[in-house]
Amino acid sequence: MEEAWSTPILHVDMDAFFVEVERRLRPDLRGLPVIVGGLGRRGVVASCSYEARARGVHSAMPMAQARRLCPQAEFIPPTMARYQEYSVKVFTVLRSFTHRVEPLSVDEAFLDVTGLRLHHADPQAVAVAIRKRIREELELPASVGIAPNKFLAKLASDRAKPDGLFSVAAQQVRQFLDPLPVRALWGVGEATHAALEGLGVETVGDLEAVPLAALTTRLGPAVAQHLEALARGEDPRRVEPGGDAKSMSVEQTFAHDISGRSRVEAELLAQSDRVATRLRSAGVAARTIAIKVRYAPFETITRSVTPGTAVDTARDIYRLTRELVGRVEVDRPIRLIGVAASQLVDNDQPRQLGLLEPGQVEVAPDGSGAWGDLADAVEDVRNRFGDRAVGPARLAGAPDVSDPDRMYGPGG
């Protein structure tokens, strides 16, 4: 029994998450190459099906390149609110098995299932049950890696893809690791890989055979010790249970650079609206609001503010972003704007009341009040009639302003 539970860490990773959510709603897309991402001139791939990956497409690739590689694909703009909705459902399933769930993104998490040994024969039985629940309840595929620690579980889930399960037993660690390319180890980027090649290292097994002193001379003590431990399959990190995402954000890369305070504020209003929708659907509020601005030469700056109380309505978020935009240059060519909400707290936590601004309506400590009621009403309409059914009046008739179907981010 104890030997069976020597691999209690699971890494659950939803396969091509954005694509599979789209297929869940459009079954005609199944079996076809599908690419989700920004469709504009500067758009990038957020998620792609395995049919598209077989043709060389991958996440973060410029959309123009993806179109050249796979012109027959179905190209779909992302709908972030929809993906967030399904993410909440996925994590609800995971937490129905154990509270020890550490989210990594909207579509992957580590689980420590040690506490389930009285309910399941072994961790593999837990993984089978999780995949079955996700498939039956959400009609989505998930891959699961099982291993003694987080590092190995992540590598195992990569091996399990697509839509599979792979387990690395404690006594199989060397057999599993040694043939892998050294780039599979966390922290091996271009420079480190070049240094390791100079030592004749191509695989993890090669690295494990290099004396620590030689690694230290070439890479420095911190990196050398880190890689030596990983090459042995060691990872002392614990699964750290937490809320869902530690932050929520949206951003827009423009087909043509924009400038001017009025245009920038219109973008911030649209993005504040989207962030607020995601916060409220997840039942959280944000203590910190930030904006990101990327200028034409790829210079990126961020500005943030932490108000006296957590916020979750578009009105409050937009008010804060307008304050922040006063601290950036808006007359330079801007290629990207983003709004982020972080330090998330449960929506039912008490909130401190601040002094009212002119014309501001009082809000109760639980976030209710006129503006909260309005946000609830907007959310109800969108749930019934779609994300575009209602929105800020300032954005009416402004088709170039960002909307949820043009947002993009990582998605499997």
Helix 314-325 vs helix 370-385: crossing angle, to nearest 10: 110
pLDDT in the model for residue 412? 52
Contact between 281 and 85 (Cβ < 8 Å)? yes
Q: 249 - beta bridge partners? A: 340
Q: Is 362 a known active-site residue?
A: no
- Per-residue confidence of the chain (412 residues) as pLDDT tens digits? 567 788 899 999 999 999 999 999 999 999 999 999 988 877 889 999 999 999 999 988 999 999 999 999 999 999 888 898 899 899 999 999 998 999 888 899 999 999 998 889 999 999 999 999 999 999 999 999 999 999 999 999 999 999 999 999 999 999 999 999 999 998 888 888 999 999 999 999 999 999 999 999 999 999 899 999 999 999 999 998 865 556 788 888 887 889 999 999 999 999 999 899 888 877 788 999 999 999 977 788 999 999 888 999 999 999 999 999 999 999 999 998 999 998 888 765 554 444 334 334 334 434 444 445 555 555 554 444 444 544 555 555 544 555 443 433 344 5
Q: Are strands 334-346 and 247-258 parallel, antiparallel or unpaired?
A: antiparallel
pLDDT in the model for residue 7? 84
pLDDT in the model for residue 378? 54
Contact between 94 and 107 (Cβ < 8 Å)? no
Q: How many helices (H) and strands (E) does the chain have?
A: 14, 12
SS3 284: strand
Cα(80)–Cα(85) distance, rounded to whole angstroms?
Answer: 9
Burial tier of 230 (Cβ tally within 10 Å: 0-12, 13-18, 19+): buried
DSSP states of 78-122 as a string? --HHHHHHHHHHHHHHHHHH-S-EEEEETTEEEEE-GGGTTTSSS
Sheet holding 142-147, edge to edge: 101-105, 108-112, 9-14, 142-147, 165-167
Sign of CA dihedral 265, 269, 271, 275: positive
Contact between 103 and 243 (Cβ < 8 Å)? yes
Q: Which of 102, 108, 208, 251 is catalytic?
A: 108
Burial tier of 299 (Cβ tally within 10 Å: 0-12, 13-18, 19+): exposed
Within 226-355, strands assigned E span: 247-258, 284-295, 300-305, 334-346
Cα(187)–Cα(195) distance, rounded to whole angstroms?
Answer: 13
Cα(12)–Cα(158) distance, rounded to whole angstroms?
Answer: 10
Cα(123)–Cα(147) distance, rounded to whole angstroms?
Answer: 9
